[in-house]
Amino acid sequence: MAETFIAEIDAEAGGTVKALERVPKDKLDWRPHAKSRTLGELAQHVAALPAFGARGLRDGKREMGGAPASSAPSADFAGTFKKAVEDFKQTVGDMSDEQLEKETFSFTMNGQPVRTFPKAIFLRNVVMNHFVHHRGQLTVYLRLLDIPVPPIYGASADENPFARRQ
> What pLDDT shows up at residue 154?
87
Separation CA 85–CA 65 (nearest Å):
26
Question: What gap in Å lies between CA 131 and CA 12, rounded to an integer?
Answer: 9
pLDDT values of the chain reduced to their tens digit, one per residue, 166 residues = 999 999 999 999 999 999 999 999 999 999 999 999 999 999 999 999 999 999 999 999 999 986 555 555 567 999 999 999 999 999 999 999 999 999 999 999 999 999 999 999 999 998 999 999 999 999 999 999 999 999 999 889 898 878 776 6
Protein fold of 2-144: Four Helix Bundle (Hemerythrin (Met), subunit A) (1.20.120)
Full DSSP string of 47-111: HHHHHHHHHHHHHSEEE-SSPPP--PPPS-HHHHHHHHHHHHHHHHHT--HHHHHHSEEEEEETT
Q: Given this model, what pLDDT does residue 74 score?
A: 63
DSSP code at position 37: P
Taking a C-beta distance cutoff of 8 angstroms, is the pair 160, 151 a contact? yes
* Helix count and strand count (H, E) for the chain: 6, 3
User: Any idea where the domains of the chain sit in the sequence?
Assistant: 2-144
